[in-house]
Amino acid sequence: MSTLITDSNFTDADAFYAALADVHRDRSDAESAAINARLILLLANQVGNQQILEQALAIAGQVHIKE
């Protein structure tokens, strides 16, 4: 079974984070939401493997928003 990588796998984590912030700079909330959706779909296709995607979805789904 394929396993989701949860140790760091970035070639340059800081550069990625900075680029992520940049793509959202001066965007409306609706634009940012759309950018995030597009990004998820692009990266999901890159990952491809359904087992891995489902593990990522399971972790992502565990949100606890403080009301």
Site of interaction with another protein (CB under 8 A): 5-10, 13-14, 16-18, 20-21, 24-25, 27, 29, 32, 36, 59
Q: How far is the CB of 6 from another protein (least distance, A)?
A: 4
Q: Are 59 and 9 in contact (CB under 8 A)?
A: no
Of the pair 22, 45, the CB lying nearest another protein is at 22
Q: How far is the CB of 2 from another protein (least distance, A)?
A: 16
Which residue, chain included where needed, has tokens 């970035």? 10
Q: Are 35 and 27 in contact (CB under 8 A)?
A: yes
Q: How far is the CB of 25 from another protein (least distance, A)?
A: 7
Query: CA torsion 38→49→10→21, rounded to 10°?
Result: 10
